[in-house]
A and B are shown apart, each in its own frame.
Chain A
Protein backbone atom coordinates (compact mmCIF):
# COMPACT_ATOMS: atom_id res chain seq x y z
CA UNK A 1 0.00 0.00 0.00
CA UNK A 2 2.73 2.47 0.91
CA UNK A 3 4.82 1.47 -2.06
CA UNK A 4 2.26 3.07 -4.36
CA UNK A 5 3.41 6.57 -3.44
CA UNK A 6 5.05 7.99 -6.56
CA UNK A 7 6.90 10.79 -4.90
CA UNK A 8 9.57 11.88 -7.34
CA UNK A 9 9.76 8.39 -8.71
CA UNK A 10 12.59 7.94 -11.14
CA UNK A 11 12.22 5.82 -14.28
CA UNK A 12 15.69 4.72 -15.38
CA UNK A 13 16.48 5.34 -19.03
CA UNK A 14 19.08 6.49 -21.50
CA UNK A 15 17.09 8.96 -23.59
CA UNK A 16 18.18 12.43 -24.67
CA UNK A 17 16.16 13.93 -21.84
CA UNK A 18 17.55 11.50 -19.26
CA UNK A 19 21.07 12.54 -20.20
CA UNK A 20 20.50 16.28 -19.98
CA UNK A 21 22.17 18.10 -17.11
CA UNK A 22 19.76 18.44 -14.16
CA UNK A 23 20.32 22.21 -14.21
CA UNK A 24 19.16 22.31 -17.81
CA UNK A 25 16.06 20.34 -16.93
CA UNK A 26 15.29 22.53 -13.93
CA UNK A 27 15.73 25.69 -15.95
CA UNK A 28 13.65 24.38 -18.86
CA UNK A 29 10.90 23.30 -16.51
CA UNK A 30 10.77 26.83 -15.13
CA UNK A 31 10.75 28.27 -18.66
CA UNK A 32 8.01 25.83 -19.67
CA UNK A 33 5.87 26.80 -16.67
CA UNK A 34 6.41 30.50 -17.40
CA UNK A 35 5.35 29.94 -21.00
CA UNK A 36 2.35 27.99 -19.79
CA UNK A 37 1.14 30.95 -17.75
CA UNK A 38 1.59 33.29 -20.69
CA UNK A 39 -0.27 31.10 -23.16
CA UNK A 40 -3.67 32.48 -24.04
CA UNK A 41 -5.30 30.60 -26.84
CA UNK A 42 -5.48 27.47 -28.98
CA UNK A 43 -2.29 27.83 -30.97
CA UNK A 44 -0.14 28.50 -27.90
CA UNK A 45 -1.71 25.65 -25.98
CA UNK A 46 -1.43 23.33 -28.95
CA UNK A 47 2.27 24.15 -29.09
CA UNK A 48 2.73 23.48 -25.37
CA UNK A 49 0.79 20.23 -25.58
CA UNK A 50 2.76 19.09 -28.60
CA UNK A 51 6.03 19.84 -26.84
CA UNK A 52 5.00 17.79 -23.81
CA UNK A 53 3.76 14.83 -25.85
CA UNK A 54 6.92 14.94 -27.94
CA UNK A 55 9.14 15.02 -24.81
CA UNK A 56 7.23 12.12 -23.23
CA UNK A 57 7.71 10.17 -26.45
CA UNK A 58 11.45 10.92 -26.36
CA UNK A 59 11.85 9.62 -22.78
CA UNK A 60 10.26 6.30 -23.67
CA UNK A 61 8.29 6.29 -20.40
CA UNK A 62 4.79 4.88 -20.75
CA UNK A 63 2.20 7.70 -20.88
CA UNK A 64 0.11 5.76 -18.35
CA UNK A 65 2.73 6.63 -15.71
CA UNK A 66 1.89 10.31 -16.23
CA UNK A 67 -1.85 9.70 -16.14
CA UNK A 68 -1.50 7.70 -12.94
CA UNK A 69 0.35 10.65 -11.42
CA UNK A 70 -2.58 12.92 -12.30
CA UNK A 71 -5.08 10.73 -10.48
CA UNK A 72 -4.59 12.08 -6.94
CA UNK A 73 -5.12 15.61 -8.30
CA UNK A 74 -8.33 14.73 -10.11
CA UNK A 75 -10.47 16.37 -7.44
CA UNK A 76 -8.59 19.67 -7.67
CA UNK A 77 -8.81 19.61 -11.46
CA UNK A 78 -12.56 18.99 -11.42
CA UNK A 79 -13.05 21.66 -8.77
CA UNK A 80 -11.11 24.20 -10.84
CA UNK A 81 -13.09 23.32 -13.94
CA UNK A 82 -16.47 23.69 -12.23
CA UNK A 83 -15.47 26.95 -10.58
CA UNK A 84 -14.29 28.41 -13.87
CA UNK A 85 -17.33 27.29 -15.81
CA UNK A 86 -19.64 29.28 -13.54
CA UNK A 87 -17.35 32.11 -12.64
CA UNK A 88 -16.20 33.53 -15.95
CA UNK A 89 -18.52 36.01 -17.65
CA UNK A 90 -18.73 37.16 -21.25
CA UNK A 91 -19.41 35.55 -24.58
CA UNK A 92 -22.74 33.98 -25.47
CA UNK A 93 -24.93 32.77 -22.66
CA UNK A 94 -25.70 29.08 -23.07
CA UNK A 95 -27.58 28.17 -19.93
CA UNK A 96 -28.93 30.01 -16.94
CA UNK A 97 -30.71 28.82 -13.80
CA UNK A 98 -30.95 30.68 -10.50
CA UNK A 99 -27.40 32.00 -9.84
CA UNK A 100 -25.79 29.56 -12.24
CA UNK A 101 -24.93 30.82 -15.67
CA UNK A 102 -22.83 29.05 -18.26
CA UNK A 103 -21.30 31.09 -21.04
CA UNK A 104 -19.00 30.18 -23.92
CA UNK A 105 -16.31 32.26 -22.26
CA UNK A 106 -16.72 30.23 -19.07
CA UNK A 107 -16.39 26.94 -20.92
CA UNK A 108 -13.33 28.19 -22.73
CA UNK A 109 -11.63 29.44 -19.55
CA UNK A 110 -12.39 26.20 -17.76
CA UNK A 111 -11.00 24.14 -20.64
CA UNK A 112 -7.77 26.11 -20.78
CA UNK A 113 -7.40 26.13 -17.03
CA UNK A 114 -7.71 22.34 -16.83
CA UNK A 115 -5.29 21.94 -19.71
CA UNK A 116 -2.88 24.31 -18.01
CA UNK A 117 -2.95 22.43 -14.72
CA UNK A 118 -2.50 19.09 -16.45
CA UNK A 119 0.40 20.33 -18.56
CA UNK A 120 1.96 21.92 -15.49
CA UNK A 121 1.81 18.70 -13.51
CA UNK A 122 2.93 16.48 -16.37
CA UNK A 123 5.76 18.90 -17.14
CA UNK A 124 7.11 18.59 -13.62
CA UNK A 125 6.63 14.83 -13.72
CA UNK A 126 8.83 14.83 -16.79
CA UNK A 127 11.55 16.38 -14.64
CA UNK A 128 11.27 13.99 -11.70
CA UNK A 129 10.68 10.89 -13.82
CA UNK A 130 13.89 11.44 -15.81
CA UNK A 131 16.18 12.80 -13.09
CA UNK A 132 17.38 10.92 -10.03
CA UNK A 133 16.62 12.79 -6.79
CA UNK A 134 20.35 13.02 -6.15
CA UNK A 135 21.04 14.66 -9.51
CA UNK A 136 18.16 17.01 -8.86
CA UNK A 137 19.51 18.24 -5.52
CA UNK A 138 23.00 18.56 -6.99
CA UNK A 139 21.55 20.69 -9.76
CA UNK A 140 19.57 22.79 -7.30
CA UNK A 141 22.64 23.36 -5.16
CA UNK A 142 24.66 24.56 -8.14
CA UNK A 143 21.90 26.83 -9.37
CA UNK A 144 21.54 28.39 -5.93
CA UNK A 145 25.29 28.71 -5.46
CA UNK A 146 25.27 32.51 -5.93
CA UNK A 147 23.11 32.75 -2.79
CA UNK A 148 26.12 31.60 -0.76
CA UNK A 149 27.40 35.16 -1.09
CA UNK A 150 24.36 36.21 0.94
CA UNK A 151 25.30 33.65 3.60
CA UNK A 152 22.44 31.35 2.73
CA UNK A 153 23.54 27.82 3.79
CA UNK A 154 22.90 26.41 0.32
CA UNK A 155 25.07 23.34 0.75
CA UNK A 156 23.46 22.43 4.07
CA UNK A 157 19.99 22.75 2.58
CA UNK A 158 20.97 20.62 -0.37
CA UNK A 159 22.50 18.00 1.95
CA UNK A 160 19.37 17.93 4.09
CA UNK A 161 17.27 17.52 1.00
CA UNK A 162 19.36 14.68 -0.40
CA UNK A 163 19.32 12.90 2.95
CA UNK A 164 15.55 13.30 3.19
CA UNK A 165 15.07 12.06 -0.36
CA UNK A 166 17.50 9.23 0.18
CA UNK A 167 15.58 8.01 3.23
CA UNK A 168 12.05 8.20 1.87
CA UNK A 169 12.25 4.79 0.16
CA UNK A 170 14.12 3.33 3.14
CA UNK A 171 11.48 4.50 5.57
CA UNK A 172 8.67 3.34 3.30
CA UNK A 173 10.27 -0.09 3.13
CA UNK A 174 10.72 -0.08 6.89
CA UNK A 175 7.11 0.97 7.45
CA UNK A 176 5.99 -1.86 5.17
CA UNK A 177 8.09 -4.34 7.08
CA UNK A 178 6.83 -3.20 10.49
CA UNK A 179 3.25 -3.20 9.22
CA UNK A 180 3.68 -6.80 8.08
CA UNK A 181 5.24 -7.80 11.38
CA UNK A 182 2.39 -6.27 13.37
CA UNK A 183 -0.20 -7.76 11.04
CA UNK A 184 1.42 -11.12 11.70
CA UNK A 185 0.60 -10.51 15.35
CA UNK A 186 -3.00 -9.79 14.45
CA UNK A 187 -2.85 -5.97 14.26
CA UNK A 188 -5.73 -4.58 12.27
CA UNK A 189 -4.97 -1.44 10.26
CA UNK A 190 -7.85 -1.64 7.87
CA UNK A 191 -11.13 -1.66 9.73
CA UNK A 192 -12.67 -0.12 12.82
CA UNK A 193 -13.86 3.30 13.91
CA UNK A 194 -11.63 6.35 13.47
CA UNK A 195 -10.38 6.36 17.06
CA UNK A 196 -9.58 2.67 16.82
CA UNK A 197 -7.70 3.18 13.60
CA UNK A 198 -5.62 6.01 15.01
CA UNK A 199 -4.80 3.82 17.98
CA UNK A 200 -3.94 0.98 15.64
CA UNK A 201 -1.22 3.16 14.10
CA UNK A 202 0.74 3.23 17.35
CA UNK A 203 2.38 -0.19 16.81
CA UNK A 204 3.57 1.14 13.45
CA UNK A 205 4.62 4.67 14.42
CA UNK A 206 6.58 3.90 17.57
CA UNK A 207 9.00 1.43 15.95
CA UNK A 208 9.23 3.64 12.87
CA UNK A 209 10.31 6.66 14.92
CA UNK A 210 12.72 4.60 16.98
CA UNK A 211 14.32 3.30 13.81
CA UNK A 212 14.38 6.73 12.14
CA UNK A 213 16.28 8.16 15.11
CA UNK A 214 18.61 5.18 15.18
CA UNK A 215 19.31 5.63 11.46
CA UNK A 216 19.89 9.36 11.86
CA UNK A 217 22.33 8.68 14.64
CA UNK A 218 24.19 6.04 12.63
CA UNK A 219 24.30 8.30 9.60
CA UNK A 220 25.72 11.18 11.63
CA UNK A 221 28.45 8.93 13.00
CA UNK A 222 29.22 7.57 9.54
CA UNK A 223 29.46 11.09 8.13
CA UNK A 224 31.75 12.22 10.90
CA UNK A 225 33.89 9.13 10.49
CA UNK A 226 34.41 10.26 6.88
CA UNK A 227 35.38 13.74 8.11
CA UNK A 228 32.30 15.54 6.79
CA UNK A 229 32.52 19.19 7.83
CA UNK A 230 29.95 20.88 5.64
CA UNK A 231 30.27 22.30 2.16
CA UNK A 232 33.42 24.36 2.47
CA UNK A 233 36.19 23.18 0.18
CA UNK A 234 34.23 20.08 -0.72
CA UNK A 235 34.81 18.59 -4.16
CA UNK A 236 32.55 16.22 -6.08
CA UNK A 237 33.08 12.81 -7.52
CA UNK A 238 30.59 13.37 -10.32
CA UNK A 239 31.01 16.89 -11.58
CA UNK A 240 27.99 18.08 -13.49
CA UNK A 241 28.93 19.62 -16.77
CA UNK A 242 26.79 21.18 -19.42
CA UNK A 243 27.41 20.23 -23.03
CA UNK A 244 26.21 21.42 -26.41
CA UNK A 245 22.94 19.56 -26.02
CA UNK A 246 22.20 21.43 -22.79
CA UNK A 247 22.81 24.85 -24.29
CA UNK A 248 20.77 23.92 -27.34
CA UNK A 249 17.86 22.80 -25.18
CA UNK A 250 17.96 25.94 -23.06
CA UNK A 251 18.13 28.08 -26.17
CA UNK A 252 15.17 26.17 -27.61
CA UNK A 253 13.07 26.73 -24.52
CA UNK A 254 14.00 30.43 -24.41
CA UNK A 255 12.81 30.76 -27.98
CA UNK A 256 9.64 28.93 -27.01
CA UNK A 257 9.00 31.35 -24.16
CA UNK A 258 9.56 34.33 -26.45
CA UNK A 259 7.38 32.76 -29.11
CA UNK A 260 4.52 32.13 -26.71
CA UNK A 261 4.84 35.72 -25.46
CA UNK A 262 4.51 37.00 -29.02
CA UNK A 263 1.63 34.65 -29.80
CA UNK A 264 -0.33 35.67 -26.73
CA UNK A 265 0.23 39.35 -27.40
CA UNK A 266 -1.40 38.63 -30.75
CA UNK A 267 -4.20 36.91 -28.87
CA UNK A 268 -3.62 33.48 -30.44
Chain B
Protein backbone atom coordinates (compact mmCIF):
# COMPACT_ATOMS: atom_id res chain seq x y z
CA UNK B 1 0.00 0.00 0.00
CA UNK B 2 1.76 3.17 -1.11
CA UNK B 3 1.41 6.23 1.10
CA UNK B 4 2.32 8.76 -1.56
CA UNK B 5 1.58 8.35 -5.23
CA UNK B 6 1.76 10.75 -8.13
CA UNK B 7 -0.14 10.14 -11.34
CA UNK B 8 1.08 11.80 -14.55
CA UNK B 9 2.14 14.83 -12.53
CA UNK B 10 2.94 17.85 -14.70
CA UNK B 11 3.90 21.35 -13.65
CA UNK B 12 4.38 24.37 -15.87
CA UNK B 13 5.72 27.62 -14.40
CA UNK B 14 4.50 31.05 -15.63
CA UNK B 15 2.06 29.49 -18.03
CA UNK B 16 1.14 31.75 -20.94
CA UNK B 17 4.01 34.20 -20.42
CA UNK B 18 7.25 34.44 -22.38
CA UNK B 19 8.94 32.78 -19.41
CA UNK B 20 6.83 29.63 -19.57
CA UNK B 21 8.77 26.61 -18.41
CA UNK B 22 7.82 22.98 -17.98
CA UNK B 23 9.42 21.78 -14.76
CA UNK B 24 7.75 18.38 -14.52
CA UNK B 25 6.25 16.21 -17.19
CA UNK B 26 4.11 13.14 -16.60
CA UNK B 27 5.84 11.99 -13.44
CA UNK B 28 4.26 8.84 -12.07
CA UNK B 29 5.80 7.47 -8.92
CA UNK B 30 4.88 5.49 -5.84
CA UNK B 31 6.48 5.74 -2.44
CA UNK B 32 5.58 3.00 0.01
CA UNK B 33 5.10 3.60 3.71
CA UNK B 34 8.40 3.59 5.58
CA UNK B 35 10.56 3.70 2.48
CA UNK B 36 13.80 5.70 2.51
CA UNK B 37 14.08 7.30 -0.92
CA UNK B 38 16.90 9.46 -2.24
CA UNK B 39 15.92 11.90 -4.98
CA UNK B 40 18.84 13.01 -7.10
CA UNK B 41 19.23 15.22 -10.12
CA UNK B 42 21.16 18.29 -11.05
CA UNK B 43 19.94 21.85 -10.40
CA UNK B 44 16.82 22.56 -12.44
CA UNK B 45 15.94 18.90 -13.00
CA UNK B 46 12.56 19.36 -11.31
CA UNK B 47 13.21 17.59 -8.02
CA UNK B 48 12.39 20.58 -5.82
CA UNK B 49 9.23 21.28 -7.81
CA UNK B 50 8.27 17.64 -7.45
CA UNK B 51 8.53 17.55 -3.66
CA UNK B 52 6.51 20.75 -3.29
CA UNK B 53 3.60 18.90 -4.86
CA UNK B 54 3.69 16.10 -2.31
CA UNK B 55 2.29 18.24 0.50
CA UNK B 56 0.01 20.35 -1.67
CA UNK B 57 2.13 23.52 -1.71
CA UNK B 58 2.13 23.65 -5.49
CA UNK B 59 -1.07 22.76 -7.29
CA UNK B 60 -0.30 20.46 -10.23
CA UNK B 61 -0.81 21.83 -13.74
CA UNK B 62 -1.81 18.30 -14.71
CA UNK B 63 -2.12 14.94 -12.98
CA UNK B 64 -2.85 14.08 -9.37
CA UNK B 65 -1.10 13.56 -6.06
CA UNK B 66 -2.60 10.81 -3.92
CA UNK B 67 -2.03 10.34 -0.22
CA UNK B 68 -3.28 6.90 0.86
CA UNK B 69 -5.35 6.84 -2.30
CA UNK B 70 -7.08 10.20 -1.79
CA UNK B 71 -6.38 13.24 -3.96
CA UNK B 72 -4.77 15.87 -1.71
CA UNK B 73 -5.88 18.73 -3.95
CA UNK B 74 -9.54 17.71 -3.77
CA UNK B 75 -10.39 20.58 -1.40
CA UNK B 76 -8.80 23.10 0.96
CA UNK B 77 -9.21 20.93 4.03
CA UNK B 78 -7.43 17.98 2.43
CA UNK B 79 -4.58 20.18 1.27
CA UNK B 80 -4.09 21.58 4.75
CA UNK B 81 -4.19 18.11 6.22
CA UNK B 82 -1.54 17.00 3.72
CA UNK B 83 0.76 19.78 4.97
CA UNK B 84 0.76 18.19 8.42
CA UNK B 85 0.98 14.59 7.26
CA UNK B 86 3.81 15.23 4.81
CA UNK B 87 6.46 17.41 6.44
CA UNK B 88 8.62 19.36 4.04
CA UNK B 89 11.94 20.87 5.07
CA UNK B 90 12.99 23.41 2.48
CA UNK B 91 16.47 24.14 1.25
CA UNK B 92 18.31 26.44 3.69
CA UNK B 93 15.43 26.14 6.17
CA UNK B 94 17.26 28.37 8.67
CA UNK B 95 15.99 31.40 6.74
CA UNK B 96 12.44 30.68 7.83
CA UNK B 97 13.12 31.08 11.58
CA UNK B 98 11.20 34.03 12.97
CA UNK B 99 10.15 33.52 16.59
CA UNK B 100 11.69 35.13 19.64
CA UNK B 101 12.87 31.86 21.10
CA UNK B 102 13.99 28.51 19.77
CA UNK B 103 11.19 26.81 21.68
CA UNK B 104 8.47 28.96 20.17
CA UNK B 105 9.86 28.49 16.69
CA UNK B 106 9.87 24.71 16.92
CA UNK B 107 6.35 24.95 18.39
CA UNK B 108 5.02 26.94 15.41
CA UNK B 109 3.92 23.86 13.44
CA UNK B 110 2.24 22.05 16.36
CA UNK B 111 0.56 25.33 17.35
CA UNK B 112 -0.92 25.58 13.86
CA UNK B 113 -2.25 22.06 14.38
CA UNK B 114 -4.23 23.45 17.34
CA UNK B 115 -2.72 20.98 19.82
CA UNK B 116 -2.88 21.43 23.57
CA UNK B 117 -0.04 23.20 25.37
CA UNK B 118 1.17 20.00 27.01
CA UNK B 119 1.16 18.08 23.76
CA UNK B 120 3.08 20.90 22.07
CA UNK B 121 5.73 20.89 24.81
CA UNK B 122 6.15 17.15 24.48
CA UNK B 123 6.56 17.32 20.73
CA UNK B 124 9.01 20.22 20.86
CA UNK B 125 11.25 18.36 23.31
CA UNK B 126 11.02 15.16 21.28
CA UNK B 127 11.84 16.94 18.01
CA UNK B 128 14.75 18.80 19.59
CA UNK B 129 16.11 15.51 20.89
CA UNK B 130 15.95 13.94 17.42
CA UNK B 131 18.01 16.69 15.81
CA UNK B 132 20.38 17.18 18.74
CA UNK B 133 19.29 20.62 19.95
CA UNK B 134 19.93 20.77 23.73
CA UNK B 135 17.11 22.13 25.90
CA UNK B 136 19.47 24.81 27.24
CA UNK B 137 19.04 26.60 23.90
CA UNK B 138 15.23 26.74 24.16
CA UNK B 139 15.11 30.29 25.54
CA UNK B 140 17.66 31.73 23.11
CA UNK B 141 16.76 33.69 20.02
CA UNK B 142 17.12 31.47 16.96
CA UNK B 143 18.98 34.30 15.23
CA UNK B 144 21.83 34.04 17.77
CA UNK B 145 22.63 30.43 16.93
CA UNK B 146 25.35 29.16 14.62
CA UNK B 147 24.45 28.15 11.06
CA UNK B 148 24.42 24.43 11.83
CA UNK B 149 22.29 24.89 14.94
CA UNK B 150 19.81 27.08 13.09
CA UNK B 151 19.41 24.33 10.51
CA UNK B 152 18.73 21.78 13.26
CA UNK B 153 16.13 24.01 14.88
CA UNK B 154 14.42 24.50 11.52
CA UNK B 155 14.33 20.75 10.86
CA UNK B 156 12.98 20.20 14.37
CA UNK B 157 10.19 22.66 13.52
CA UNK B 158 8.95 20.24 10.88
CA UNK B 159 9.61 17.03 12.82
CA UNK B 160 7.57 18.45 15.73
CA UNK B 161 4.46 18.03 13.58
CA UNK B 162 5.16 14.26 13.63
CA UNK B 163 4.65 13.89 9.88
CA UNK B 164 4.11 10.38 8.48
CA UNK B 165 6.43 11.30 5.67
CA UNK B 166 9.42 13.61 6.01
CA UNK B 167 10.82 15.30 2.94
CA UNK B 168 14.14 17.12 3.15
CA UNK B 169 15.35 19.30 0.30
CA UNK B 170 19.16 19.44 0.38
CA UNK B 171 19.37 19.30 4.18
CA UNK B 172 23.16 19.26 4.20
CA UNK B 173 23.82 22.07 1.69
CA UNK B 174 26.52 24.44 2.92
CA UNK B 175 27.41 22.46 6.06
CA UNK B 176 30.86 21.18 6.97
CA UNK B 177 31.52 17.40 6.63
CA UNK B 178 30.95 16.72 10.32
CA UNK B 179 27.70 18.74 10.25
CA UNK B 180 26.52 16.81 7.17
CA UNK B 181 27.29 13.44 8.69
CA UNK B 182 25.60 14.31 11.95
CA UNK B 183 22.41 15.60 10.31
CA UNK B 184 22.20 12.49 8.14
CA UNK B 185 22.67 10.33 11.25
CA UNK B 186 19.86 12.27 12.95
CA UNK B 187 17.55 11.68 10.00
CA UNK B 188 18.34 7.97 9.91
CA UNK B 189 17.74 7.74 13.67
CA UNK B 190 14.44 9.59 13.35
CA UNK B 191 13.26 7.13 10.74
CA UNK B 192 14.31 4.10 12.79
CA UNK B 193 12.48 5.48 15.82
CA UNK B 194 9.24 6.47 14.10
CA UNK B 195 9.06 4.31 10.98
CA UNK B 196 8.31 7.43 8.95
CA UNK B 197 8.73 7.55 5.19
CA UNK B 198 11.74 9.70 4.34
CA UNK B 199 12.48 11.41 1.06
CA UNK B 200 15.90 12.99 0.78
CA UNK B 201 16.54 15.39 -2.07
CA UNK B 202 20.18 15.90 -2.83
CA UNK B 203 22.75 16.36 -5.51
CA UNK B 204 25.40 14.82 -3.34
CA UNK B 205 25.82 11.18 -4.33
CA UNK B 206 27.79 10.56 -1.13
CA UNK B 207 24.85 11.67 1.02
CA UNK B 208 22.20 9.54 -0.60
CA UNK B 209 24.52 6.55 -1.00
CA UNK B 210 25.11 6.64 2.72
CA UNK B 211 21.52 6.27 3.84
CA UNK B 212 18.90 5.84 1.08
CA UNK B 213 17.45 2.43 0.22
CA UNK B 214 16.03 3.47 -3.11
CA UNK B 215 17.24 6.08 -5.55
CA UNK B 216 15.16 8.04 -8.01
CA UNK B 217 17.00 10.12 -10.60
CA UNK B 218 15.41 13.20 -12.15
CA UNK B 219 16.49 14.84 -15.36
CA UNK B 220 14.67 17.50 -17.35
CA UNK B 221 11.42 17.03 -15.44
CA UNK B 222 11.32 13.24 -15.94
CA UNK B 223 12.29 10.25 -13.84
CA UNK B 224 15.16 8.63 -15.72
CA UNK B 225 16.22 5.96 -13.23
CA UNK B 226 14.55 4.30 -10.27
CA UNK B 227 16.09 1.47 -8.30
CA UNK B 228 18.38 0.39 -5.49
CA UNK B 229 21.62 2.38 -5.03
CA UNK B 230 23.57 -0.59 -6.44
CA UNK B 231 21.41 -0.61 -9.58
CA UNK B 232 21.57 3.15 -10.09
CA UNK B 233 25.29 3.54 -9.38
CA UNK B 234 26.16 0.71 -11.74
CA UNK B 235 25.10 3.02 -14.58
CA UNK B 236 27.97 5.44 -14.11
CA UNK B 237 28.09 6.51 -17.77
CA UNK B 238 24.37 7.33 -17.91
CA UNK B 239 24.64 9.31 -14.67
CA UNK B 240 27.55 11.35 -16.01
CA UNK B 241 25.63 12.04 -19.20
CA UNK B 242 22.98 13.90 -17.19
CA UNK B 243 25.48 15.91 -15.16
CA UNK B 244 25.64 13.63 -12.12
CA UNK B 245 28.32 11.28 -10.88
CA UNK B 246 28.80 8.18 -8.78
CA UNK B 247 30.18 8.27 -5.22
CA UNK B 248 33.97 8.34 -4.98
CA UNK B 249 33.90 4.85 -3.44
CA UNK B 250 32.08 3.47 -6.48
CA UNK B 251 34.62 5.13 -8.71
CA UNK B 252 37.50 3.55 -6.77
CA UNK B 253 35.83 0.13 -6.93
CA UNK B 254 35.35 0.50 -10.67
CA UNK B 255 39.00 1.46 -11.22
CA UNK B 256 40.19 -1.46 -9.05
CA UNK B 257 37.92 -3.71 -11.07
CA UNK B 258 39.43 -2.40 -14.28
CA UNK B 259 42.91 -3.13 -12.89
CA UNK B 260 41.90 -6.76 -12.42
CA UNK B 261 41.29 -6.65 -8.66
CA UNK B 262 38.20 -8.74 -8.17
CA UNK B 263 35.98 -6.48 -6.05
CA UNK B 264 32.31 -5.99 -6.94
CA UNK B 265 32.20 -3.02 -9.31
CA UNK B 266 29.34 -1.25 -7.59
CA UNK B 267 30.20 -0.75 -3.97
CA UNK B 268 28.78 2.59 -2.93
CA UNK B 269 29.69 2.97 0.72
CA UNK B 270 33.05 2.86 2.46
CA UNK B 271 32.18 -0.19 4.65
CA UNK B 272 31.10 -2.17 1.57
CA UNK B 273 34.37 -1.56 -0.23
CA UNK B 274 36.39 -2.17 2.90
CA UNK B 275 34.71 -5.51 3.48
CA UNK B 276 35.16 -6.47 -0.16
CA UNK B 277 38.88 -5.66 -0.03
CA UNK B 278 39.32 -7.42 3.31
CA UNK B 279 37.51 -10.49 1.98
CA UNK B 280 39.83 -10.47 -1.00
CA UNK B 281 42.92 -10.29 1.19
CA UNK B 282 41.54 -13.03 3.42
CA UNK B 283 40.86 -15.08 0.31
CA UNK B 284 44.37 -14.51 -0.98
CA UNK B 285 45.86 -15.52 2.40
CA UNK B 286 43.89 -18.73 2.27
CA UNK B 287 45.19 -19.66 -1.12
Binding site for B on A (CB under 8 A): 3, 11-12, 174, 177-178, 180-188, 202-203, 206-207, 210-211
Tell whether A184 pairs with B108 under 8 Å between CB atoms, given A207-B98, A210-B143: no
- Point out the residues of chain A lying under 8 angstroms from B84, CB to CB: 186
Q: How far is the CB of A11 from chain B (nearest CB, A)?
A: 6
Decide: A182 and B113 in contact? CB cutoff 8 A: no
Decide: A183 and B57 in contact? CB cutoff 8 A: yes
Give the residue name and chain of the B residue nearest to A11 (CB): B18
Decide: B112 and A186 in contact? CB cutoff 8 A: yes
Decide: B95 and A186 in contact? CB cutoff 8 A: no
- Point out the residues of chain A lying under 8 angstroms from B97, CB to CB: 207
- Point out the residues of chain A lying under 8 angstroms from B112, CB to CB: 185-188
- Other than A178-B96, A184-B89, A188-B112, give 16 A-B pairs with Cβ distance below 8 A: A11-B18, A12-B18, A180-B57, A181-B95, A182-B108, A183-B83, A184-B55, A184-B87, A185-B108, A185-B157, A186-B112, A188-B80, A207-B95, A207-B96, A207-B98, A211-B95
Report Cα–Cα, A187/B18, bound state, in Å: 32
Decide: A184 and B158 in contact? CB cutoff 8 A: yes
Give the residue name and chain of the B residue nearest to A202 (CB): B98
| Contact residues of B between 68 and 89, Cβ < 8 Å to A | 80, 83-84, 87-89
Binding site for A on B (CB under 8 A): 14, 18, 52, 55, 57, 80, 83-84, 87-90, 93, 95-98, 108-109, 112-113, 143, 157-158, 161
Report Cα–Cα, A210/B57, bound state, in Å: 24
Report Cα–Cα, A178/B158, bound state, in Å: 14
Give the residue name and chain of the B residue nearest to A64 (CB): B16
Tell whether A203 pairs with B95 under 8 Å between CB atoms, given A12-B18, A177-B90, A184-B55: no
In-complex Cβ contact of B90 among A181, A202, A206, A211 (8 A): A181
Give the residue name and chain of the B residue nearest to A184 (CB): B88
6 example contacts (A-B, Cβ-Cβ < 8 A) are as follows A181-B90, A181-B93, A184-B87, A184-B158, A188-B112, A210-B95
Ranked nearest first, the 8 interchain pairs of A and B with the lowest CB-CB distance are A186-B112, A206-B98, A181-B96, A185-B109, A184-B88, A181-B90, A203-B98, A207-B98
Decide: A184 and B57 in contact? CB cutoff 8 A: yes
Interface centre among A11, A178, A188, A203 (most CB of B within 10 A): A203
- Point out the residues of chain B lying under 8 angstroms from A203, CB to CB: 96, 98, 108
Report Cα–Cα, A209/B89, bound state, in Å: 21
Report Cα–Cα, A202/B109, bound state, in Å: 14
Give the residue name and chain of the A residue nearest to B98 (CB): A206
Decide: A185 and B98 in contact? CB cutoff 8 A: no
Decide: B108 and A178 in contact? CB cutoff 8 A: no
- Point out the residues of chain A lying under 8 angstroms from B18, CB to CB: 11-12
Q: How far is the CB of B147 from chain A (nearest CB, A)?
A: 12
- Point out the residues of chain A lying under 8 angstroms from B83, CB to CB: 183-186
- Point out the residues of chain A lying under 8 angstroms from B52, CB to CB: 180
Give the residue name and chain of the A residue nearest to B163 (CB): A184
Give the residue name and chain of the A residue nearest to B154 (CB): A181
Give the residue name and chain of the A residue nearest to B167 (CB): A184
- Point out the residues of chain B lying under 8 angstroms from A11, CB to CB: 18
- Point out the residues of chain B lying under 8 angstroms from A177, CB to CB: 90, 95
Report Cα–Cα, A53/B51, bound state, in Å: 44
- Point out the residues of chain A lying under 8 angstroms from B96, CB to CB: 178, 181-182, 185, 203, 207
- Point out the residues of chain A lying under 8 angstroms from B143, CB to CB: 210
Q: How far is the CB of B159 from chain A (nearest CB, A)?
A: 11
Report Cα–Cα, A211/B52, bound state, in Å: 22
Decide: A186 and B93 in contact? CB cutoff 8 A: no
Report Cα–Cα, A188/B112, bound state, in Å: 8
Report Cα–Cα, A185/B84, bound state, in Å: 7
Q: How far is the CB of B111 from chain A (nearest CB, A)?
A: 8
- Point out the residues of chain A lying under 8 angstroms from B98, CB to CB: 202-203, 206-207, 210
Q: How far is the CB of B274 from chain A (nearest CB, A)?
A: 39
Report Cα–Cα, A42/B112, bound state, in Å: 60
- Point out the residues of chain B lying under 8 angstroms from A186, CB to CB: 80, 83-84, 108-109, 112-113, 161
Q: How far is the CB of A244 from chain B (nearest CB, A)?
A: 29
Q: How far is the CB of A190 from chain B (nearest CB, A)?
A: 9
- Point out the residues of chain B lying under 8 angstroms from A185, CB to CB: 83, 96, 108-109, 112, 157-158, 161
- Point out the residues of chain B lying under 8 angstroms from A3, CB to CB: 14
Report Cα–Cα, A255/B57, bound state, in Å: 55
Report Cα–Cα, A112/B155, bound state, in Å: 60
Report Cα–Cα, A188/B108, bound state, in Å: 12
Report Cα–Cα, A217/B109, bound state, in Å: 31
Report Cα–Cα, A11/B19, bound state, in Å: 9
Report Cα–Cα, A186/B107, bound state, in Å: 11
Report Cα–Cα, A231/B43, bound state, in Å: 38
Report Cα–Cα, A13/B158, bound state, in Å: 44
In-complex Cβ contact of A178 among B87, B95, B113 (8 A): B95
Report Cα–Cα, A180/B95, bound state, in Å: 12
Decide: A180 and B90 in contact? CB cutoff 8 A: yes
Give the residue name and chain of the B residue nearest to A183 (CB): B57
